[in-house]
Chains A and B, each alone.
Chain A
Amino acid sequence: MNALRSTRGQRDRSEPEVHLARRARPGALLRVFLILVAGVSAASANPIVIGSKKFTESYVLGEIARRALNDAGFATEHRQGMGGTIILWQALRGGQIDAYPEYTGTIAQEILRNGHQLSFQEIRDALRKFGAGMTEPLGFNNTYALVMRRSEAQRLGVRTISDLRKHPELKFGLTHEFLDRQDGWRPLRERYGLPQQSVIGIDHALGYAALANGSIDVKDAYSTDAKIEENELVVLEDDLRFFPTYEAVFLFRSSMSPDAINALRRLEGTLDEKRISHLNMEAERAKNYTFGANLYFEDGGKSPNSLGETFPHKLARWTLRHLELAGFSLLLSVIIGIPLGIVASRGGLIGQAILGFTSIVQTIPALALLALLVPVPFFGISVRTAITALFLYGLLPIVRNTASGLQDIPRSLRESAVALGLTSFTRLWEIYLPMASRSILSGIKTSAVINIGTATLAALIGAGGLGEPILSGLNLNDHITILQGAIPAALLALLVQWFFDVLDRVLIPKGLRL
């Protein structure tokens, strides 16, 4: 009943937009766009936002929390598969998300940066200073573990992590997070005196595939990973008791409503290792996290009244957000890029600096650019950050094409404009810019297509868009899910291309198209 109410609430919000869009006249387009954007941001301000990390169990726990809150009458939103611990923690502190599943070991090591084993009470006290709270354990310990192919382990006689010392030839493939963690690879190697030289960083889901085909021999895993059973892997015993315990809990903002906190707390102690492994496995088998989460509620004897979003609804949400990300950032790139291009076209030191800066931005990998922006106070984990990163990527084609379009105007025509006695603003506005319009528009077109592609990475920081299914599909090694994001993104890129081809005809003066 409550869930019904909340879906209806959402639909009510979106209806005026549809009407407006249908009635839109050319002049009203901008207004509709603004209302649409306002609508999206208003909608995302209200519900309780759950975050989750980029691996199956976190997705499933996130979905379980979403469902539990839904059942308690709250509107919810689940930002799936966000970049990593620090990103989620920052998002929680900054209020971009309200709750997310975490593990006590991770909280102590990565968030509180405390070398010792902390008691629950100590952790809870420490979190309180940040305005965050923690539930009691959900009931299972998902510790880090090293895993190997069972056959290989038996052949080499490796049972414990200490046994690895005798086999320096083994190749390690570790997640990037594990490589850097305080309770990760470096201290582990030191503690056990591991001699292996071949250690590469690899994505968690891809690592399982690499382990299966023998590209690597040892990888880090979560002890409840469904893939351990599925791929006939064996967990090596932590005989020196290196890994802290990783009891699963929910972190939440203390400012969240008490009813919502209670809804989360009702999940305490309800999941043991066997059950979560089962849910993880089912979610991966069904390629659907909501399905795995719903099993939890069915086992618990509750009625299955929320089946998750329908695909068209999800697709619409992804696409709308994707367009919002790409559109806004493009608008910024145009507003800032064209003036920068005009300045750059005059050459000199400033011109060189502008072109140099925009070129350098282009060489920063998108993920790195996001990671650079996240710690900056104004940005954090937000749509803002994603839009800013996309805006920076969009600059180069626009700046460069504006500058070269202006520089390509023959000197004789520039001089004619000067000799006529036109003021410098009129020359720019009525003569130079229209003459460079073809080049400028093609820069904007390039920028738009790049933005549509790059916007898929926004999902890494929970900004949504079509990257969401791509990321979760990568995690599930599920091509269908990947394509659910990739195909619409490709179609969008084509659509944008086509849209700009039409725009060319409207905006490029006829005299230049002869």
Chain B
Amino acid sequence: MSALVKLIDVRKRYADAIVLHATNLSIERGKTTILIGPSGCGKSTLLRLIIRLIEPDSGLIEFNGGPVTADTIVTLRRRIGYVIQEGGLFPHLTARANVLLMARHIGKSEDEMRTRLADLCDLTRFSANLLPRYPLELSGGQRQRVGLMRALMLSPELLLLDEPLGALDPLVRAALQKDLKEIFVRLQQTALFVTHDLAEATYFGDEIVLMNEGRVVQKGSVTDLREKPADPFVAEFINAQRGVTLT
């Protein structure tokens, strides 16, 4: 197993606040890596660094074994799918147009797009009847499925998900969790999934990366985290979440 993405000594600060201390991390191909931690721990920043919405102050982020330059940045983004809370759909475009946006932009044929769209509807269990609808005419869960289709449209090597299920009610959320997991397995998708919910992390994660205050605190399986916490914070974080789930 080789690493698809490799962060080497990556740092990021905003004005006076350090949001990411020197960080080293590898995202393995074909696995779902979970980034977990309290709000403001730097997990979203890490995601945004990988897709180059922000640039690191220092350090190197390699993709597929090579560095990313200004020239390759657009190509890089097209090889990565990015899903955010609420789906990030453009309100002036229909569900179909949102999904096909990039494919159109790079000149895929109509046939190819139609086939792929049908496949994606199957994969994400999204009714094709709803494709002509605008985002505001869809429910939260439906919007999230469209967002996922848009991210998967060009068969990305890496899927970044930034708390994709955070804004959904529990039933919809459970259904989507199940479908997402199926999709990851079926596509053998390399994915980096940000959440602050330990149960969700446990459900998805092959590998869990726990972050706190701009640092990776521990890496491993849930069992590792639970039984061999690297420091008191890890134990505290695990116990706090367990407490919530028990009550």
Contacts and interface: CB of A to CB of B under 8 A. Distances in A.
Contacts of A421: 74-78, 102
A509 B77 contact: no
Contact of A423 (B74, B93, B134, B150): B74
Main SS of chain A's interface residues?
helix
| Chain A CB within 10 Å, residue with most, of B48, B77, B86, B91 | B91
Interface in B149-191: 150
B136 A511 contact: yes
A420 B136 contact: no
Contacts of B53: 415, 418-419
Contacts of B89: 416
A142 B112 CA distance: 86
A514 B82 CA distance: 26
B90 A435 contact: yes
Given A415-B53, A510-B134, A420 B82 contact: yes
A212 interface: no
Contacts of A434: 92
Interface residues of B, number: 28
B51 A419 contact: yes
A420 B134 contact: no
B80 interface: yes
B101 A511 contact: no
B82 A416 contact: yes
Contacts of A1: none
Contact of A419 (B77, B94, B135): B77
Contacts of A194: none
A413 interface: yes
Nearest to B133: A511
| Chain B CB within 10 Å, residue with most, of A412, A434, A511, A514 | A511
A514 B134 CA distance: 9
B220 interface: no
A417 interface: yes
Interface of A: 412-413, 415-423, 426, 430-431, 434-435, 437, 509-512, 514
15 contacts: A412-B85, A413-B88, A413-B90, A416-B84, A419-B82, A420-B82, A420-B102, A421-B75, A421-B76, A422-B102, A422-B105, A509-B92, A509-B93, A511-B136, A512-B91
Interface of B: 48, 51, 53, 74-78, 80, 82, 84-86, 88-94, 101-102, 105, 134-137, 150
Given A421-B74, A430-B101, A514-B136, 7 more contacts: A412-B84, A420-B150, A421-B75, A421-B77, A421-B78, A423-B74, A509-B92
